[in-house]
Structure 1
Amino acid sequence: MGLAAWTDPRIGKHLLREEGEVIVDEVRHHWCAFVRPALEGLLALGLLVVTVVTPVDVAWLPLLLAFAAMAHAAWLAVREHRDRFVITNMRVFRVHGVLSQSLATMPLTRILDITVRRPLHGRMLGFGHFCFESAAQEQGIRDVRYVARPYERDLAIQRVVQRSGLRGGRVN
């Protein structure tokens, strides 16, 4: 079991291929979602530098902290990388998790409203967050964060819904 098995969520195994389900868009997190893991990795490198100039009898402490910070940074990076939001011609779903994997699905027929939130830094850096509303009180997929090009992805979902005939067509 290699590194790819831990970092790839294997989206294809969740598709209903015999029903004709195809992927319209597979959304990975925007690079901004990886800023925190990168900063923690830099902190770990800084702690390794401190280890070099620290007396030998106490050098174990910054070394231990560096390994802990690096392990946490790696965990966060893998967690963000494995979190995928997928738009198909039948539904939207989200796969996430590192050791255990969660799958949340919402059929296109259940999507009542999609809110795209773009905070100031999201507008400057090109990402936003989706909030899905459905008729159900509790839903497995609600907030999808750090979506690159959110307006394009919103239009892709609207296009799929329109093409599937789930909403009323144009009135002449």
Structure 2
Amino acid sequence: MVGHSERFGPGVPKELDRYLIPSEQIVFMLRRHWVVLAEPVATSVFGMILLAWASSLDNVPGLLTQILTGLWLLLLARTILRAWEWYEELFLATDRRLMLVHGIITRQVDIMPMGKVTDMRYDRTVTGQLLGYGKFVMESAGQDQALSTINYIPDSDLHYQQISQIIFAPSEGKVTQKAAAPGSRVPISEPEQAWWRRKN
């Protein structure tokens, strides 16, 4: 993800120009919650502590210390790989579809058209409520879609409202550019005639 998008401006990777059509508007773009890195980081830290403790003992054979060092280096490499995967993965919603771009060597793009979504379930575990993430489960018409479950979504309350607004907005609603949400680097799009703005 080198460089910035010419169409969408700073903060949007140039890579997305290949996947998005000119008329699409980005509603939000994000990386998964940092909690996905908690286990690899904790494992590496624990391994480092174990290695330091074993190295401090006088009666530990040198061969065992070398083996433990090798194992810890593998744990460290795994943590770096997971962090790289996390950084390269992007989840975004446009006014037309949901998209998950992921993979390091082979880039993969999973797509769920907004028009295919018939319902969406929003789950938040106790841990998710404490740390601020949630899971979206999409129900679609017809065959199974590639992107049906998205877990570890940060600021999930806000993003659930944004996706719901697009899915359940009236088809005649006109989408216009609005100000970016707090903390967002991507403009937010919303229907002009959303249900809460209508006059009876």
Q: Same fold (TM over 0.5)?
A: yes
Match of 1:38 among 24, 38, 41: 41
In structure 1, the residue matched to 2:106 is 100
Shift of 1:50: 4.3
Unpaired stretches in structure 1, ≥5 consecutive residues: none
Q: CA RMSD in A?
A: 2.7
| TM-superposition CA deviations, 1:62-103 (whole Å, max 9, x none) | 111011111111222222333321111221111122222221
> Which residue is 2:55 aligned to?
52
Classify 1:67/1:81 alpha carbon distance in 2 versus 1 (closer, same or farther; 3 Å): same
- The separation in 1 between residues aligned to 2:102 and 2:53, in whole angstroms, is 36
More RCO (CA 8 Å, sep 6+): 1
Unpaired runs of 5+ in structure 2? 3-12, 174-193
Percent of pairs with identical residues: 23
Which residue of the other structure, out of 157, 172, 190, is the alignment partner of 1:165?
A: 172
Q: Does 1:16 align with 2:28?
A: no
**Is 1:47–1:63's contact at 8 Å kept on the other side of the alignment?**
no
Alignment of 1:1-172 (within 5 A): 10-17=15-22, 20-50=23-53, 52-53=55-56, 54-161=60-167, 162=169, 165=172, 172=200
For the pair shown, the structure with the greater C-alpha radius of gyration is 2
Which amino acid is the alignment partner of residue 125 of structure 2? P
Q: In the alignment, is the contact (CA less than 8 A) between 1:43 and 1:66 conserved in 2?
A: no
Q: TM-score, normalised by structure 1?
A: 0.81
Q: Distance in 2 between matches of 1:88 and 1:124?
A: 28
Residue 141 of structure 2 aligns with an amino acid whose one-letter code is A
Cross-structure match for 2:5: none
Output the amino acid matched with 2:158: E
- Closer, same or farther: CA 164–85 of 1 in aligned 2, 3 Å: farther
Q: CA 1:163–1:71 in 2, change beyond 3 Å: closer, same or farther?
A: farther
TM-score (normalizing by structure 2):
0.71
Q: Which amino acid aligns with 2:93?
A: I
Alignment length, in residue pairs? 165
